[in-house]
Amino acid sequence: MKSGRSQRVLPGFGLSLGITCTYLSLIVLLPLATIFARTTDLSWAAFWSTVTNPRVLASYRVTFGTSFIAAVVNTVFGLLVAWVLVRYRFPGRRLVDALVDLPFALPTAVAGIALTTLYASNGWIGQYLEPLGIKVAYTSLGITVALIFIGLPFVVRTVQPVLDDLEVEVEEAAASLGARRWQTFSRVVFPTVAPALLTGFALAFARAIGEYGSVVFISGNMPMKTEIVPLLIITKLEQYDYPGATAVAVVMLVASFLLLLTINLLQWAARRRMATSS
Amino acid sequence: MTSIAVPRPATTAPRAIARATGESRPVRWVLITIALAFLAFTLVLPLALVFSQAFSKGFSVYWQAITEPDALSAAKLTLLIAAVAVPVNVVFGVAAAWCITKFDFPGKNVLITLIDLPFAVSPVISGMIFVLLYGAHGWFGAWLTEHDIKIIFAVPGIILATTFITSPFVARELIPLMQEQGTDEEEAAIVLGAGGWQTFFRVTLPNIKWGLLYGLILCNARAMGEFGAVSVVSGHIRGQTNTLPLHVEILYNEYAFAASFAVASVLTLLALVTLALKTLVEWYQRRSAHDLAETKSTPERMAA
């Protein structure tokens, strides 16, 4: 790739690039472009008043607030789970490792009804929380619980390979220089893992703000209180308020793309750091 | 705790290092317990609940719920969707990975980002874009009505939305894998007189088969389980545009909980099979990577 390949030896460039570009245009780009084109149906003032309507604002608060808390919880426990899986040996470790991917594989609707039943006031967990005055199902706490479920593998699977690659010699050096275990962790291990942890956080957060299936059952869907943005979009679509749905969707798309950009920059920075350090 | 952590001069006695690079036994067990308790609450309990609820009204109710005509037609539709979306995305994924990893051309990074794009889009919005294009009030809506073609609230719309959602899975898996493998083997095959397809099927495919299978498994799980996007374009017509996940929702909203969880348990089983296959493929992948490393370590023989 760097030098010496003056011309293409391998065949199939035109064919494969042709298939890729045609397919992407038809299935991904044209449909996505429609949504931006559709916003031109609205005047700027109408667009602005739609996306800043109190009910819409409340739904941003619910979606971004619960997604943020869920992503923070996932970051803490994701690091713990990754650490335990990489560093310790205990019976059933491989099974647990495989199970971490369950949220990727389980259809979101199934996760949604299972979590709702679990945390309802007569559910396996809900019945013990109810006397304590903690209501989970049909509150924003419930939304957070569903988003924690959905986001967990993102953090674990981003942090795990970095922990795996961490050289024990570095920790040994820190220890032989007199660092306590906690110091070694906070000054040596953590800074190395931090970029991956941040990427995992961003991935979990990005997934959470768009999530629908697992949340819609447990959220209760009360406008102004527990209504998430994706549900609001569906409600608008069902009322044939296409311009309104499009306007809100564009705001969410822009937020998602900005997050995607941040994630790519984070990963690029992490790769560069790895390259310069080695 | 304090007895262990008596500050010592920086001796390099091996035992001191072992203690300092690993946690003490109690700390280790506390960490493992917290992690496992967290996973038990978030992952294992929901899993156990699905099966317990599914059989709560007995086996006959369970059997009836998964064999009634509506459930069967939902299962058939789910299989049909996967049967279209998965092969199409395998072809796309292989083509995309081939042009990105075997050639240099301007705009390659943009292309990689565009392939990833559907991952960043909310499922609800993924369904909505097809409503805006092909729905009754959509861009092609009038033309489609005129020609009596139904896409939205019909099977083609569900397939389109699912294809959109699952399009990155195979490409994403293959691109890093094929990048790592480089182009040497293919170039050698071509130089030795093999045709393009021959090279692909005899050289490339055996090298990427585990990665391809891995992407295919994930793609299939998502195609069968997708809810948000499908829910927007389906119209929820029983027996016609109802997939298994949508059927779960309908039963649940009708308070037919046991039946709903019965159908959900079928999907859960699918998820568990997916996880098992995935773990198996990872194992094979590691093994073949290991074999590859061994053959690569004797370049003299190959060069001669």
Q: Does A22 touch chain B (CB under 8 A)?
A: no
Alpha-carbon gap, residue A190 to A176, rounded angstroms:
18
pLDDT tens for B40-58 read 999 999 999 999 999 999 9
pLDDT tens for A55-94 read 999 999 999 999 999 999 999 999 999 999 999 999 999 9
Specify the pTM. Answer: 0.89
pLDDT score of A5: 45
Alpha-carbon gap, residue A271 to A267, rounded angstroms:
6
Q: How many CB pairs under 8 A join A and B?
A: 295
Alpha-carbon gap, residue A154 to A208, rounded angstroms:
11
ipTM: 0.90
Evaluate if residue B20 carries a pLDDT over 60. Answer: no
Q: What is the mean pLDDT of residues A192-204?
A: 92
pLDDT score of B17: 52
Evaluate if residue B259 carries a pLDDT over 50. Answer: yes
- Look at B31 and A88 and tell me if their CB atoms are within 8 Å: yes
Nearest residue, CB atoms, B187 vs list A10, A23, A177: A10
Mean pLDDT of chain A: 90
Least confident of A95-99, A120-124, A227-231, A259-263: A259-263
Distance from CA of B165 to the nearest CA of A (A): 9
Residue A153, both tokens: 């593998």
Q: Does B173 touch chain A (CB under 8 A)?
A: no
Q: Does B237 touch chain A (CB under 8 A)?
A: no
pLDDT score of B243: 95
pLDDT tens for B267-300 read 999 999 999 999 999 888 888 777 766 665 544 4
Enumerate residues 153 to 172 of chain B having a beta carbon within 8 A of any beta carbon in chain A. Answer: 160, 163-164, 167
Percentage of residues in chain A having pLDDT higher than 90: 70
* Single-letter amino acid, residue A89: R
Query: If we measure between CA atoms, which residue out of A199, A170, A201 comes closest to residue A187?
Result: A170
Confidence tier at A172 by pLDDT (50, 70, 90): confident
End-to-end CA gap in chain A: 21
pLDDT score of B228: 94
Evaluate if residue A212 carries a pLDDT over 70. Answer: yes
Answer for the pair A233, A187: CB distance below 8 angstroms, yes or no.
Answer: no
Answer for the pair B8, B16: CB distance below 8 angstroms, yes or no.
Answer: yes
- Locate the DSSP E strands across chain B: none
pLDDT score of B137: 80
pLDDT score of B278: 92
Q: What is the mean pLDDT of residues B243-262?
A: 95
pLDDT tens for B129-183 read 999 999 888 888 888 988 988 999 999 999 999 999 999 999 999 999 999 888 9
pLDDT score of B291: 74
Evaluate if residue A173 carries a pLDDT over 70. Answer: yes
| Owner of token pair 């593998």 | A153
Evaluate if residue A1 carries a pLDDT over 50. Answer: no
Alpha-carbon gap, residue B48 to A231, rounded angstroms:
28
Supply the Cα-derived Rg of chain A in whole angstroms: 23
Alpha-carbon gap, residue A199 to A195, rounded angstroms:
6
Q: What is the mean pLDDT of residues A179-205?
A: 90
Evaluate if residue B262 carries a pLDDT over 50. Answer: yes
Give the DSSP H/E element, type plus range, for residue B104.
none
- What φ, ψ does residue B212 adopt, rounded to 5°? -65, -45
pLDDT score of B121: 93
Answer for the pair A210, A252: CB distance below 8 angstroms, yes or no.
Answer: yes
Q: Does A138 touch chain B (CB under 8 A)?
A: no
Evaluate if residue A127 carries a pLDDT over 90. Answer: yes
* Single-letter amino acid, residue B67: T
pLDDT tens for B76-130 read 999 999 999 999 999 999 999 999 999 999 999 889 989 989 988 999 999 999 9
SS3 per-residue string spanning chain A: CCCCCCCCCCCCHHHHHHHHHHHHHHHHHHHHHHHHHHHHHCCHHHHHHHHCCHHHHHHHHHHHHHHHHHHHHHHHHHHHHHHHHHHCCCCCHHHHHHHCCHHHHCCHHHHHHHHHHHHCCCCCCHHHHHHHCCCCCCCHHHHHHHHHHHHHHHHHHHHHHHHHHCCHHHHHHHHHCCCCHHHHHHHHHHHHHHHHHHHHHHHHHHHHHHCCHHHHCCCCCCCCCCCCHHHHHHHHHHCCCHHHHHHHHHHHHHHHHHHHHHHHHHHHHHHHHHHHHC
When comparing pLDDT for B21 and B193, which is higher? Answer: B193
Query: If we measure between CA atoms, which residue out of A129, A134, A122, A146 comes closest to residue A217?
Result: A146
Give the DSSP H/E element, type plus range, for residue B248.
helix B244-253
Query: If we measure between CA atoms, which residue out of B93, B108, B290, B302 comes closest to residue B211?
Result: B93
pLDDT score of B288: 78
Q: What is the mean pLDDT of residues A44-59?
A: 94
Nearest residue, CB atoms, A234 vs list B10, B232, B267: B232
List of chain B residues whose C-beta atoms are within 8 Å of the C-beta of residue A100: 39, 43
Answer for the pair B123, B229: CB distance below 8 angstroms, yes or no.
Answer: yes
- Look at B122 and A210 and tell me if their CB atoms are within 8 Å: yes
Alpha-carbon gap, residue B123 to B245, rounded angstroms:
14
Q: What is the mean pLDDT of residues B190-198?
A: 91
When comparing pLDDT for A270 and A198, which is higher? Answer: A198
> Contacts for A85-94 with beta carbons within 8 Å, 24 or more apart?
A85/A156, A85/A160, A85/B35, A86/A160, A86/A163, A86/A164, A87/A163, A87/B22, A88/B28, A88/B31, A88/B32, A90/B32, A94/B279
Mean pLDDT of chain B: 88
Distance from CA of B46 to the nearest CA of A (A): 5
* Single-letter amino acid, residue A46: A
Enumerate residues 216 to 235 of chain B having a beta carbon within 8 A of any beta carbon in chain A. Answer: 218, 221, 224-228, 231-232
Query: If we measure between CA atoms, which residue out of A45, A57, A109 comes closest to residue A229?
Result: A57
Answer for the pair B21, A175: CB distance below 8 angstroms, yes or no.
Answer: yes
